């Protein structure tokens, strides 16, 4: 499974890179603060939302600590999606949130 650090994600955002972030935390968790532009799709709803995802795009998956997003990465990868797990999750995130 591919991984990216929180610092690398911050650098991509700061550099104006167009990235696709999916936050797989529950709605209440994501409401406490998420990375700007991240789309909240709770892990339990991910399978049903797969048709909304574009297999030609790469997605960075985020959760609280990196565990749920890691499982989500394995799941989506098995269906041919290009995904990267943000190691450490929001617990390691030091950038801005919305």
Catalytic (active site) residue 73: no
Active-site residue (options: 35, 61, 63, 90): 63
CA atoms within 13 A on the CB side of 3: 14
73 contacts 93 by C-beta, under 8 angstroms: no
Task: Please say whether the dihedral angle defined by the alpha carbons of residues 10, 47, 53 and 78, taken in this order, is positive or negative.
Answer: positive
Q: Choose among 54, 68, 65: nearest CA to 90.
A: 65
Active site residues: 63
């Amino acid at each position: 499974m591919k991984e990216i650090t929180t610092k690398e994600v911050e650098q991509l955002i700061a550099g104006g890179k167009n990235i696709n972030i999916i936050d797989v935390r529950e709605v209440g968790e994501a409401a406490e603060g998420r990375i700007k532009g991240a789309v909240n799709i709770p892990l339990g709803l991910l399978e049903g939302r797969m048709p909304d995802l574009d297999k030609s795009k790469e997605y960075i998956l985020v959760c609280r600590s990196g565990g749920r997003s890691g499982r989500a990465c394995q799941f989506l990868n098995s269906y041919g999606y290009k995904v990267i797990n943000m190691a450490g999750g929001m617990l390691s995130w030091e950038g801005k949130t919305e």
